[in-house]
Each structure stands twice: as structure tokens, then as C-alpha cells.
Amino acid sequence: METGFVAALGAWRTQEGPLSRSLSTAVREAVADGRLPAGTRLPSERELARALRISRGTVVTALTLLRDDGWLHTRHGSGSVVRLPARLTERTTPWSLDRGGASGADLDLTLAVTAAPHEAYLAALARAAERSAALLVDSGVATAGLPRLRELLADRYTRSGLATRPEQILVTSGAQAALTLLLDHLHTDRRAPVAVESPAYPGALAVLRGRRARLLPVPVAADTGWDTERLADAVRRGRPRLAYLVPDFHNPTGAHMDGPTRRALAELADRHELTLLADETMRDLDLRTPPGTEPHLSGRHVIQIGSASKTLWSGLRVGWIRAGADLVRQLRRNPLQAQLSPPPLEQLIATELLGDGLAALLADRRERLRAQRDHLTSLLAATGWTYAVPDGGLTVWLRLPGPVSASGLAARAARHGLAVTPGPLFAADRTTLSRHLRLPFTATPDTLTRAVRILRECAATEGERDRAAQG
Amino acid sequence: METGFVAALGAWRTQEGPLSRSLSTAVREAVADGRLPAGTRLPSERELARALRISRGTVVTALTLLRDDGWLHTRHGSGSVVRLPARLTERTTPWSLDRGGASGADLDLTLAVTAAPHEAYLAALARAAERSAALLVDSGVATAGLPRLRELLADRYTRSGLATRPEQILVTSGAQAALTLLLDHLHTDRRAPVAVESPAYPGALAVLRGRRARLLPVPVAADTGWDTERLADAVRRGRPRLAYLVPDFHNPTGAHMDGPTRRALAELADRHELTLLADETMRDLDLRTPPGTEPHLSGRHVIQIGSASKTLWSGLRVGWIRAGADLVRQLRRNPLQAQLSPPPLEQLIATELLGDGLAALLADRRERLRAQRDHLTSLLAATGWTYAVPDGGLTVWLRLPGPVSASGLAARAARHGLAVTPGPLFAADRTTLSRHLRLPFTATPDTLTRAVRILRECAATEGERDRAAQG
């Protein structure tokens, strides 16, 4: 009898309700938090009953509950093993999202992230583990990135139209890490403002605020995209030396920059010695069929930032910078670089996942995300709220009707068990965009349906309250 | 025939010398950089000869070379598999150190780091992979650390005399990441200096300089340790709000703080509202037999920083902060925190390695390091240079005789194929400590012997040159 199994259950008896249900809950939670790895073999029913000091009937009932729920797999003649249910391993929605996330709400729509591609990730991890032995005999200290990963990323850029050598790639622990490192090197005159989009990706705003950077917001809209004229005007007047942009399926609007705008921006950057930091984290999440063919935002004054955290998994923590080989060498000498360099093992996993299998993996993810986007927008169609169906990315950017305040709505929704992110969190000044709301379609259709229902009910109440206050 | 094997060899024919040697070199390098994972089965000699278009005799010679060198293991009847030689997997010295490291020298003694504990690490990685499935179905976004890891670290502190709850632990991607995060939160008044040791750990100096912090150096000596009076005086006059210290087997001197000094410093901190950042990265590398029993440097104004990168492996990138639960909550809200949080998988590996097996693993590492330290100091005994035998850590801090400049010596040694770090790199002002040199004993005895021979020859020449210049 494996005593490890019983130990992993912890104090399972303290749960309320029937013993069989307590036992099945304890097993499920032990599998869910990794104390009982998927594939662990269960002791026999007789052994379990004896070890747990309960009747065999109670054990049988608990195991039936687990089996029906997908947490237990029984092969005749070879016993039962615990596993994660297929409904969890086969979905893109993070598990915690609809069971009370970090926010404490029942439904958490504040994160626009996906679960890992389960089978592909486990396979990549196994191959990376096989290849790790050669790394373990060395120092493991930070480098510019594993040679094979830098080659692979350079090849990807070259194949998508942007000729790139491996020396132009610096591997970082994500897109925000890349931005932090670039700002530390390039944002030396703190009086010069940094141009950002409005709305902007909150992760980037947090990094910029952390540096006490002055922000120069320039509007971007879900339907009409970037206004080159206004950007040019802002650059002439505000004289920023840096701009942070998300040209591909912009977070939160989903806007996608067309070819002429890309060229206009690259020229503007050259004319004003303005460095554009183009965050391409969402570029692979193109939901059009077939995917589009827009070029990279590129040019003498453009630095590309990439990341695997939205296309693959946030927990991988692998991103990169594509820049001139000289700048990459300078960034390598920055004291922050070593701390913002991902562990070699994660780089091996990234190398496995970003290689030949990526296209099939992305096709599958895109199909799931497309279905979820379509489900969400079909729900929103009935609301009368304003939004554009995004061509890619992970989010829909809503405008609420009439007087309804997004922060008020979010606060009310939170009381009804739904956490959402209101517009001001995407605003450089933290106060405008007060009629907007971001909804990620990374949730399951079920959760999206429940979430929109809660939002509609809350919006109706908020609307009435506002009208009453004004009347 | 596995075509993967031949593909992994790349353009092996371009090497000079006999074909059999080129082939064995290509196989060795493919194993060393992970293209051929350890355990990969070789095609038969006949198949190899045909696929590579060489004679079977050449193949046999190449395989014999590999077998003799430990890169190939043959079991009668079941073919041959590639592997890493035991001399690499069983040593603590990083492989690249004595074969031309990052510095381009033949011998690289600039890094004081070890290779991973090979078998234990691979086993931990396998267990972590088994447990990772439950993480992959979730978002993977940054947290304060995996609950099991925070519990385990809190338990370790509690067992070593410092009662700690899991909420007091924040997991970071290493000690420098911990310092970066703490400085960003605590070093808000940039005019207030930060007290550091002289000599100080260069990684910490780099982080402090990156923030343009004013540095207030306070001496520490290999033999006499910290001078509490001078530190108290410096605190009264310079009014630092923060001090960064390495109380356990200080890098580079190896100094170890005694109990009374720890208490005196904690009182000094309380009296002057000075926050002590105690970096305990080296604490587990106690080379005394039996290990000492000094308490942690602790108190109301002390924050502990820990890391697995010196005791286990730099490539793990797992460290932590132990502080008040309130401060940990505040640090969690810092925009840098997410970027300085290690990937969940690395945290799982750390949880496996820092658990029950750690004591045996450390005992083994300590024994190897002790032998290497003793070898190095026996070599140094004959030089007439000044040093103290360190009770722990990874380095010996040398004082050169008479007029010999460490930077001159390091430059000369570099021309003779040996990279070492001269004293000024450990100085807050980058210029003093010009007679000192740090020698890590993480190298193999062979390498240490060669290194000291080169240093002695170079020092003799430098000494003559200096005397001639003065005469």
C-alpha cells in the first residue's frame, strides 16, 4: 500500500457532508494542486478502506464520483490511476477562471491569458528534460539566450519578411521584462515623455509608471485603429524619444495596424529620431481565415518585442527582443539583464514549442479562440453596447451605453460574483476611458454566457440609478 | 536507421584531421549541447558507415574514441547509447570553466558557481514534470510563490531558529532579483546612501549602480570580519536607510559573522531605523565539520534574502525574500514583481530539491567543495601571499605581495589563458582593493593547480616590472 497516497490527501475528514464526497473532493484537490501527480495509481478499494478507516462501500462511492467526474481512469485488470479530466486539459481557459480566481470572484474575467496547450507542453517538457543533461553540467548563468532558441527566433523573423541574424535576438523572461530592460537602457532622460496608446496594455503602463515615466497618450480605436496624423502631431509637440505600441491585435481593443500605417509610423520614427517599441506578443493570435499578411512594424528606429506567454502559456516566461546586434550587446551588459533572463530549461521548452510543431498548435488554439470570440460577440450583439469584432488577440473592447460608468458597473458586477477590468485601468491618466470595459474571450462559452448575463443585469441597474441621479 | 542522429551531427566533415576524430568530436559536441540527448541510441556501425558515406573501419575508430572518453556506453546485445561522461556529471565544476568560458580564456576563474547536482536534479525535474500537469491547466501568471514552496521555505527558517509563516516568503527569480525588488520598494530617497561591504558582492554592486544609488562602503576582512564600531560610525555620519550585507560566508572574503556581531548589528539597525538586507545565499555552504550553529542575522529591521543558485544551480533561478507579511503584500503589488517571479516549473523543481533530500545533497557538495578549498589553499601556502582559509562559501580572497597590482596581474594572466577577477571589481569606488584578487575554488584541482602556476609566474614578472619602474 502506497502510504504516499493517503498522506497526499491531508486532513480530508474535516470536510462537511458525507464521507464519500469528502474523500472524492480531497483526491480531486490533491490532483489539482500536484500533490498526487496525474498517473498515480490508486491502492485497491480494500487497502484504501483499511488505511482510511472507512467502509469499503464509502470508498466505492467516492471512486465512482471521481470516475464520473473524469478524475479517475480505470483499466480492467490494471487498476485505477488519477488524472486531470479531459475537459480541463483540452480547453484554453485557465482552470481558476471560473472557479474563483485570484480576485476572489466566482468568475474572473480580469486576465486575458490561456491555459497551456496540454499534451504539446508535456511532450515539449519531456524532450527538454532529455536535452537538459548537457546544460546541468555547466554554470547555468544568464546568457543572451540558448543558441538554438536565438537561431529559431531569427529564422521565424526572416521567414516572415524581416531578415534577422541570431545576434539580433535577446531572450528575456517575457514581454514586460523586455520592456523593462529596454526602458532602463533607452529611457535615460526622464523628462522626455514616452508615447503610449490610449487605451494601453496595463502591464506596460505599470512598468512605465514604475519608472515614473511621463506618459503621452495617443488614441487607438477598435474599428479605425491608429490615427497617424494625431500621433505625428503629438510627436512634434511632446517630443517623446520613445513610443510603446501593440500593432498586432492590440490589447485591449484588438485593433490591427494596416500596411500603410506601419510604413507611415516607421517614417515618422526616422524623421524624429523616435524609437518605436513594437510589442508583437499577440501577432500569432490572428483569428482571420486565412490569417493576414501584414508585414512587421519595422525600420531603422523600430525594436520588436515578442513573447510566448499569450500564444503558449504565461507560466513559460519566455519573451525576446529583436534589435540591432549592437544594441543587443549593450543590453547584455545591463545589470538587469541577468535577472530578466529566463532559466535555461524554460528556454529549452520554448525551443521545442516554437519549432516545427508550432503551426499546428497555433491553428488549434486559433480555432478554439475564434469560437469563443464568436460566442462572446453573439452574446454582445443583443446588448446594444458598442464594440468591434476583433480580428485577433484575446479581448473585446466594449463601450457602455449612455451614462453607465464602467467602474461602477465593475464594482456592482464584483458584488454579483464577476470580476472585470474597467476602462480607466487602460488609461495613462487612470481616469478617462470611463465608459469602456475589456472582456477577454479566453473563458469557456458557459462562463461567457453567465458573465454577459450578470453584466446586462448590473448595467440595467446602474443605468437606472444614473438616470434617477440625473432626473 | 534514425535519420535524426545523422542530422544532429551537422557539417561534421568540415573539421580538420582524420575523419574518425572529426566524427567523434561532432558526436561529443552534439551531446554536449543537447542536440543528441543523453540516452540516444546509436545506429549500427554498418548503418552509420552507409549513412555517413565512410568506411566501417572509420566508424569503429570513432566509436572507440568516444567509448574510451566516456561519451558512449555499450551494453552487449542492446547496442550503444551516447551519454555525458561521469567525470562531467559527478563534479561540481561547470564544464565550460576549464575549456574556455565566456571570457574566451582557457581557464575561467571569474565565476564562483557550481554545476547542478546532476542525478538529483534530473530526478527532481522528472518529479516536477509529473506534478506540472495541474499547473498547465491554469493561467501560469505570477504569484507570491507556489504554496508548497513558501511552506517549505518558511519551515526551513522556523527549524533553523527563525519562526516564519508562509505569508512572510516571497519567491523571486534569485537573490539579485530579490535585491532589485526590495530596492525599488525601499530605496525611494535616492539621496540617502546605501551601506555596502568593502569588498562587496559585484552582482549587488551592479544592481545598486543600476539604480544610481550612492554607496557607503564599510570594510569587512576575511580574518577579522565586520567592524561594528566603524559600521556604527558610518551609520551615524552617513545616515543610510539601507544596508546590504552577506553575513554568511561573505562573497568574496568568505568571512562569517559571529553571534555577538549579529546582535550588535540588529540593535544598530533598530536604533537608527536602518533596514538590513541580509543576503544568505551562501549560508548552506558551511564547510566546517561539523557545520556551525550561528543564528540568522535577524530582527525588526532585518530582511533575509535567500537563493538556491549557489547551493544548487544558477540555472534554477529561484530565490526568495523573508520579510514581514505586510511588506511581502506590498512587494507583490510592485510592477517589477511579476517579472522577477520564477516560472512555476522551476518552483516545482526547487520544491523537490529543497525538501527532504537536501541535507544529503548538501553534505555531498560540501565535501567536494572542502576538498577543492583545501587543494587551493595548499597551493597558495607556497606563494607567500596573504589569505585566510574560509569557513565556507566558494571563494578565497587573496592579498598580493608588495607592489603587485591585481588589475595588472589579471591582465597579464589573461594573456596566458587565465581569467580572474581583480579586487577593484569588488570595490564600491571601482578603484581601491587594487592589491586583492578573488579565487573561486569551484574549479577542479587540476585547473586550480594550473591557475595558481600561471598566477605565480605572472606575479613574479609583474613584481619585477614594478620594482624596475620604481628603481
Q: Do B343 and A343 touch (CB under 8 A)?
A: yes
Q: Which residue has the cell 491553428?
A: A363
Beta bridge partners, B108, equal B419
Asked if A442 and A94 touch (Cβ cutoff 8 Å), the reply is: yes
A38-52, A97-111, B24-38: the lowest-pLDDT one = A97-111
Please list every residue in chain A whose beta carbon sits closer than 8 Å to the beta carbon of residue B421. none
User: Which residue, of B358, B381, B406, is where some domain finishes?
Assistant: B358
How many Cα neighbours within 13 Å face the side chain of A378?
8
Neighbours of B4 (CB within 10 A): 11
Residue that terminates a domain, selected from B84, B103, B129: B84
DSSP labels for B203-214? HHHHHHHHTT--
Mean pLDDT within A34-47: 89
One domain for residues B274 and B319: yes
Q: Verify that B327 and B293 share a domain, yes or no.
A: yes
Q: Both ends of chain B: CA-CA distance in Å? A: 73
B121-132 residue pLDDT tens: 999 999 999 999
**What is the rounded average pLDDT of the residues B286-306?**
96
At A401, which CATH number? Answer: 3.90.1150.10
Report residue A22 CA to chain centroid gap: 34
Task: Give B 211-240 residues with CB within 8 A of chain A.
Answer: none
Reply yes or no on whether the pLDDT at B49 is more than 80: yes
Tell me the per-residue pLDDT of B181-199, one tens digit each, with 9 for 90 and over: 999 999 988 888 999 999 9
**Does A89 fall in a domain?**
no
Element holding B436 (H helix, E strand): strand B436-440
Q: What is the per-residue pLDDT for A12? A: 85
Integer Cα distance of A119 and B432 in angstroms:
56
Contacting residues for A356 by C-beta, under 8 A, at least 6 apart: none
Reference B380, options B303, B448, B334; nearest CA is B448
Q: What percent of chain B has a predicted confidence (pLDDT) above 70? A: 97
- Interchain CB distance below 8 Å, B176 and A121: no
- Indicate if the alpha-carbon torsion angle B439, B442, B448, B451 is positive or negative: negative
Are residues B382 and B397 in contact, defined by beta-carbon separation less than 8 angstroms? no
Tell me, yes or no, if A57 comes closer than 8 A to chain B by beta carbon: no
Q: CB atoms < 10 A from the CB of B163, how many?
A: 10
Q: Which of B109, B137, B171, B189 should one mutate to test binding to chain A, selecting the residue with the greatest count of A CBs within 10 A?
A: B137
Domain end call among A315, A336, A358: A358
pLDDT value at residue A307: 98
Confidence band for B95, pLDDT divided at 50, 70 and 90 = confident
B306 domain residue, yes or no: yes
Q: Report pLDDT for B103.
A: 54
For residue A116, give the amino acid letter.
Answer: A
**Using the beta-carbon criterion (under 8 Å), do B345 and A348 form an inter-chain contact?**
no
Whether residue A124 lies inside any domain: the answer is no
Q: State which amino acid sits at residue A380.
A: L
Query: Given a cut of 90, is residue B311 above it in pLDDT?
Result: yes
| Interval A276-331: pLDDT, tens | 999 999 999 999 999 999 999 999 999 999 999 999 999 999 999 999 999 999 99
Q: pLDDT by residue (tens digit) across B434-453?
A: 999 999 999 999 999 999 99
pLDDT category, B35, cuts 50, 70, 90?
confident
The pLDDT mean for chain B works out to 93
Is residue B145 less than 8 Å (CB to CB) from chain A?
A: no
pLDDT(A32) > 90 = no
> CA of B386: how far to CAs of B143, B256, B411, in Å?
47, 18, 20
The CATH code of the domain that includes A65 is: 1.10.10.10
- Predicted confidence at residue B462, as pLDDT, reads 82
No. of H helices and E strands in chain A?
16, 15
Does this complex have an ipTM over 0.85? yes
Cell digits of residue B272: 537608527
Same domain flag for A214 and A225: yes
Report how far residue B138's alpha carbon sits from residue B117's, in angstroms, rounded to the nearest whole number.
30
Q: What pLDDT, in 10s, does the model give residues A72-91?
A: 998 877 789 999 999 899 88
Q: Is the pLDDT of residue B221 over 70?
A: yes
Would you state the pLDDT for residue A316? 97
As a whole number of angstroms, the distance between CA A341 and CA A146 comes to: 10
| pLDDT attached to residue B471 | 60
Q: Does residue B201 contact residue B217 with C-beta atoms inside 8 Å?
A: no
Which of A132, A143, A317 lies at the smallest CB-CB distance from B343?
Answer: A317
Stretch 167-206 of chain A: residues touching chain B, C-beta under 8 Å:
173-174, 176-177, 180, 184, 203, 206
Range list of H helices, B239-357:
259-272, 325-332, 344-353
Both A213 and A235 in a single domain?
yes
Q: Is residue B276 part of a domain?
A: yes
Q: A318 and A297, same structural domain?
A: yes
Residue B196 maps to a domain: yes
Residue B133: which of A84, A138, A309 has the nearest Cβ? A84
Question: Which residues are B421's β-sheet partners?
Answer: B438
- Averaged over B212-216, what is the pLDDT? 94
Query: B68 pLDDT exceeds 90?
Result: yes
Q: What is the mean predicted confidence (pLDDT) over B133-148?
A: 94
pLDDT digits (tens, 9 = 90+) for A357-416: 999 999 999 999 999 999 999 999 999 899 999 999 999 999 998 888 999 999 999 999
Segments in B69-116 forming alpha helices (H): 86-89
Q: For residues B138-163, give the mean pLDDT.
A: 96
Q: How far apart are CA B324 and CA B165, in angstroms?
A: 9
- Please check whether residue A138 lies inside any domain of the structure: no
Band (pLDDT 50/70/90 cuts) for residue B3 is low
Look at the alpha carbons of B226, B232, B236, B242 in this order and tell me if their dihedral is positive or negative: positive
Name which of A101, A148, A210 is nearest B336 (Cβ-Cβ). A210
The shortest CB-CB distance from A116 to any of B136, B342, B346 is to: B136
Residues A70 and A183 in one domain: no
* Contact assignment for B141 to A111 by CB distance below 8 Å: yes
A301 plus A446 within the same structural domain: no
Name residue A31's beta-bridge partners: none
Shortest distance between the Cα of A32 and any Cα of chain B, in A, equals: 5
CB contact under 8 A, A134 and B32: yes
Q: Are residues A249 and A277 in the same domain?
A: yes
Cα–Cα dist A413/A460, whole Å: 12
Q: Which residues of B378-403 are buried (b: 16+ CB within 10 A; e: fewer)?
A: ebbeeeebebbbbbbbbbbbbbbeee
Instruction: Work out the pLDDT band at B296, boundaries 50, 70, 90.
Output: very high
The total of other beta-carbon atoms located within 10 Å of residue A261's CB is 18
Pair (A326, A421) in one structural domain: no
- For the segment B388-432, what is each residue's pLDDT rounded down to a tens digit? 999 999 999 999 988 889 999 999 999 999 999 999 999 999 999
SS3 per-residue string spanning A131-196: HHHHHHCCCCCCCCCCHHHHHHHHHHHHHCCCCCCHHHEEEECCHHHHHHHHHHHHCCCCCCCEEE
Q: Do residues B199 and B426 lie in contact, with contact meaning Cβ atoms separated by under 8 Å? A: yes
CB contact under 8 A, B133 and A115: no
In the predicted model, what is the mean pLDDT of residues A34-59? 91
**E-only strand ranges, B173-264:** 194-198, 215-221, 225-226, 242-245
Residue with the bigger pLDDT between A90 and B353: it is: B353
* Beta strand pairing call for B215-221 and B80-82: unpaired
Q: If we measure between CA atoms, which residue out of A460, A440, A461 comes closest to residue A451? A: A440
Mean pLDDT within A149-160: 97
Query: Å from B2 to nearest chain A CA?
Result: 17
Q: Which residue would you say has higher pLDDT here, B411 or A1?
A: B411
Are both A255 and A366 inside the same structural domain?
no
B124 in a structural domain: no
Q: Do residue B248 and residue B303 come from a single domain?
A: yes
Interchain CB distance below 8 Å, A37 and B133: yes
Contact: A176, B339; criterion CB under 8 Å = yes
Q: What is the DSSP letter of A404?
A: -
Q: Which three cell numbers stand for residue B198?
A: 568593502
Instruction: Provide the CATH number for the domain around residue A326.
Output: 3.40.640.10
Q: How confident is the model at residue A101 (pLDDT cuts 50, 70, 90)?
A: very low
Name the residue range of residue B301's domain: 143-358
Residues of chain B with C-beta less than 8 angstroms from the C-beta of A345: 125, 315, 345-346, 349
Give the integer Cα–Cα distance in Å for B470 and B158.
58
Of all residues in chain A, the one with the smallest CA distance to B138 is A94
Best residue in A313, A317, A331, A447 for a mutation probing chain B (most B CBs within 10 Å)? A317
Say what the pTM is.
Answer: 0.94
Q: Answer yes or no: do B343 and A348 touch at CB < 8 A.
A: no
Give me the sheet containing B421-422, strands edge to edge: B395-399, B436-440, B421-422
Does B10 contact A at CB distance below 8 Å? no
Any domain includes A158: yes
The total number of structural domains in chain B stands at: 3
Q: Which residues in B54-83 are b (16+ Cβ under 10 Å) and which e?
A: beeebbebbbebbeeeebbbeeeeeebbbb
Q: Give the confidence band of B39 by pLDDT, cuts at 50, 70, 90.
A: confident
Arithmetic mean of pLDDT over chain A:
93
Q: Which of B136, B346, B349 to mutate to test the interface with A (most CBs of A within 10 A)?
A: B136
Residues of B with Cβ-Cβ distance to A339 under 8 angstroms: 173-174, 176-177, 180, 207, 340
* B173 and B237, same domain (yes or no): yes
Torsion region of B20: left, alpha or beta (phi above 0 gives left; psi -120 to 50 gives alpha)? alpha
Q: Among A68-72, B245-249, B465-469, whose mean pLDDT is lowest?
A: B465-469
**Closest CA relative to residue A379, chosen from A461, A453, A288, A457:** A453
pLDDT tens sequence across A195-246: 999 999 999 999 999 888 999 999 999 999 999 999 999 999 999 999 999 9
C-alpha cell at B143: 504569484
